Chain A
Amino acid sequence: GENVEQHPSTLSVQEGDSAVIKCTYSDSASNYFPWYKQELGKRPQLIIDIRSNVGEKKDQRIAVTLNKTAKHFSLHITETQPEDSAVYFCAAGFDNYGQNFVFGPGTRLSVLP
């Protein structure tokens, strides 16, 4: 089955710096890659997603890149702010009937003021 690895597990950056989180997946059939942000005690919230027919997608300070050949995708956050501090999860979705996602173990991002 699909396996998703995520690195680093923890990341500390200074406010205003960039943060990069990387994920790799094992199943070449996966074709949808969402990223979720989960603040302490709150629900995971979708922040950006990308499909396998696209190499890069950007939304303000957040961007995601996908390399299908290498089976890895990355989340880039620029000009980080303290409110970006949270746990970030990547996920891979199978090309099958319905919803079936495998999540990475998460990255705890701390933005230091």
Chain B
Amino acid sequence: KAGVTQTPRYLIKTRGQQVTLSCSPISGHRSVSWYQQTPGQGLQFLFEYFSETQRNKGNFPGRFSGRQFSNSRSEMNVSTLELGDSALYLCASSPTDGSNQPQHFGDGTRLSIL
């Protein structure tokens, strides 16, 4: 099975722009979670989608949003980019609809804001 695929791998944007990141989960996985990883804050949970619905949400401002499509692929959008949004954005998928299931991570998208 192919692993979790994230595109693009690298992205450079300027302040005020918006960006969309994409995540394709492992085939058959229906839960997709997004995380922000920075050296200072570690891994922070953004949100989780299941069956095209946001099921859980972390403590991030409304500039961070996401969606999931019927094929379980997910996108994350960040509007009005700030310098502090520079980070590695990781996507993880899980195989079942239950709680607390093992997660499989993608390689991430490294976003740099100039």
Partners in one complex: yes
Residues of A within 8 A of B (CB): 1, 31-32, 34, 36, 42-46, 49, 51, 89, 91, 93-106
CB within 8 Å for A49 and B102 given contacts A44-B90, A101-B45, A103-B42:
yes
CB under 8 Å from chain A, chain B span 82-114: 90, 94, 99-108
**Structural contact, A43 and B108, CB atoms closer than 8 A:** yes
**Structural contact, A98 and B56, CB atoms closer than 8 A:** yes
**Structural contact, A99 and B56, CB atoms closer than 8 A:** yes
CB closest residue in chain B, given A45: B105
**Structural contact, B102 and A93, CB atoms closer than 8 A:** no
**Structural contact, B42 and A104, CB atoms closer than 8 A:** yes
Q: Report Cα–Cα, A106/B44, bound state, in Å.
A: 12
Q: What would be 13 A-B contacts, judged by CB atoms less than 8 Å apart?
A: A32-B100, A43-B90, A43-B107, A44-B90, A89-B42, A93-B100, A98-B99, A99-B103, A100-B56, A101-B103, A103-B45, A106-B42, A106-B43
| Minimum distance in angstroms from A28 CB to a CB of chain B | 15
Instruction: Check B72 for interface membership: any CB of A closer than 8 A.
Output: no
CB within 8 Å for A98 and B104 given contacts A93-B99, A105-B42, A106-B42:
no
**Structural contact, A46 and B102, CB atoms closer than 8 A:** yes
Instruction: Check B55 for interface membership: any CB of A closer than 8 A.
Output: yes
Instruction: Check B31 for interface membership: any CB of A closer than 8 A.
Output: yes
Q: Report Cα–Cα, A105/B56, bound state, in Å.
A: 21
| A99: contacting residue among B101, B105, B106, B108, CB under 8 A | B101
Across-interface contacts of A97 in B (CB, < 8 A): 55-56, 99
| Minimum distance in angstroms from B31 CB to a CB of chain A | 6
